[in-house]
Amino acid sequence: MRAIVLLCLLHAAFGQDNRYGWNGPSSTVAQPNQDRSSECLADPASCGCCLMQKQVERMEMFFNYTYAEMKKEMTKTKVILDNMRASRSAFSVALNNNISLTCFGPFTTERFIIYKNVFINLGNNYNVQTGVFTAPRSGVYSLSITVYSSSVNLPLPCANLLVNSKMVTSVKEQNGQDSEDSGSAVWAMKLMAGDQVAVVLPQGCAICDDKNHYNTFTGFLLYATD
């Protein structure tokens, strides 16, 4: 703005031929330069170059408005992207990745099953140290369990699904006549943000696994409800 005002002053002082007034040739003697400068300062509208200043001010107002609107849209976009990132929750884990078959159980009391081999843990909501999946947001989730054991000398494989330490469903092999026993189940379940999901090996059950990954626990968010 200071540059525009200076330009106006210079225009008022030197921009016109001193032999003429503001409106063209005249027989009267032009006023001194300082008088024109004073006139421009007293009444900027009379200074022709001040039109440029007004145009710059309009452009500045338009720029500020455009910037504010773009900032609003960027904020909205960031919220949408954050929601998309929060919705990307999926995990799939197996009991172990051992070369030889290793069994877990039976025990005289129920035990939490901690699945050590991680195929995917999108969102890092499955805790490999505790075996607990924490729902990042409220929504409908798909959850599945597969249990397996391979010896007639072991009890049948079975597992219970817990939500916030309460059993909500279970899976169990029903036929123990063959040498290999397995069972699978898939559920669609509504969870609230912060709900904790885990798998428990009931008393007297056993599961066995190796690098073929017979025992798995999988879950992912189908759609959010918040």
Q: What is the pLDDT along the chain (226 residues), one digit of tens a residue?
A: 555 545 555 554 544 444 444 444 444 444 444 555 555 555 555 565 677 777 888 888 888 989 888 988 888 888 877 776 767 899 999 999 999 999 999 999 999 999 999 999 999 999 999 999 999 999 999 999 999 987 667 788 999 999 999 999 999 876 656 666 788 999 999 999 999 999 999 999 999 999 999 999 999 999 888 7
Identify the pLDDT of residue 20: 41
Q: Number of C-alpha atoms within 13 angstroms, CB side, residue 158?
A: 18
Q: How far apart are CA 79 and CA 109, in angstroms?
A: 46
Local structure of 165: helix, strand or coil = coil
**Dihedral angle of Cα 120, 117, 131, 159, to the nearest 10 degrees:** 110
> 190 - beta bridge partners?
140
Contact 154, 208 (CB under 8 A): yes
Count the Cβ atoms, other than its own, within 10 Å of residue 114.
Answer: 18
Q: Which helix (H) or strand (E) holds 24?
A: strand 24-25
Cis peptide before 106 (omega within 30 of 0): yes
SS3 string, 166-222, reads: EEEEEEECCCCCCCCEEEEEEEEEEECCCCEEEEEECCCCCEEECCCCCCEEEEEEE
Asked if residue 213 lies in contact with residue 118, where contact means CB atoms within 8 angstroms, the answer is no
SS3 at position 91: strand
Euclidean distance between CA atoms 97 and 100, whole angstroms: 9
**Whole-number pLDDT of residue 58:** 85
| Beta pairing class for 126-127 and 132-134 | antiparallel
CB-based contact 140:189 (threshold 8 Å)? yes
Rounded to whole angstroms, how far apart are CA atoms 20 and 181?
110
Q: Enter the tokens of residue 181.
A: 């026993």
Q: What is the pLDDT of residue 212?
A: 94
